[in-house]
Structure 1
Amino acid sequence: MPKGGHSFLITVTPLGDERPAFSFSHVNHDDIIAIAGRVQAGSGLAPDIAAATAIGLKLLSEAMLRERQDPLFDPLRAPIREFTGALKARISASETSA
């Protein structure tokens, strides 16, 4: 793992119109590509929904972790923790039944 975490370039490219892509760099303590693959394989969600869920959750969770002193994120902390636990349990159950 690179020092400080895994570095990513996140790009959102609009389809069907002429707007330019939007990109930003992000460092995450986890390998979000590997996590997205596990969520796609074991969540039971459609592949695109699983990838969006995994990547969105990891981006938001890392922002919350890095900005832990900011009360803006306080209302999200418990629900995100609960959702993450449920998602991990679903993936774990899928892996053990395979």
Structure 2
Amino acid sequence: MKQHRYRVTVEHLSDAQGAPSKYKQPLSFEVGNHDDIFDIVQRTHERVNLDATSATAFAVGLKLFSEVMLENGKHQIFQEFAPHFRTFMKNLKKMPEGS
């Protein structure tokens, strides 16, 4: 399957108490996805009534998670959850803008 390619980088800025991060290097990895995540983020901003940061985090996290689940669907960790996730995604795609 052809995939869009992405580099994901996460930097730990501070701990829960506001102290500077103890991690010196960001977490960075390359990953593929069958969807254009930038387009999905834009559509999520239009469709889901969340602030911009939350909508972006939701869309990116969901797409990264769903691709792993698609590629590893037979893994036991996803067996029980997969039917519920499919229902969730169908309902999400049906939501009108601004919901």
**TM-score bin (small chain):** 0.7 to 0.9
Query: In 2, distance between residues paired with 1:56 and 1:27?
Result: 13
Unaligned runs of 5+ in 1: none
Which secondary structure does the structure 2 equivalent of 1:94 belong to? coil
- State how many pairs are aligned: 91
Based on CA coordinates, which of the two structures has the bigger radius of gyration? 2
Question: Of 31, 37, 50, which residue of structure 2 is paired with 1:26?
Answer: 31
Aligned match of 1:53 = 58
Query: In 1, distance between residues paired with 2:42 and 2:81?
Result: 25
Aligned match of 1:12 = 10
Q: State the TM-score, normalizing by the size of structure 1.
A: 0.82
Percent of aligned pairs with the same residue? 33
Q: Over aligned residue pairs, what C-alpha RMSD do you find?
A: 1.7
Question: Does 2:84 correspond to 1:79?
Answer: yes
Between Structure 1 and Structure 2, which shows a larger proportion of helix residues? 1
Aligned match of 2:70 = 65
Q: State the TM-score, normalizing by the size of structure 2.
A: 0.81
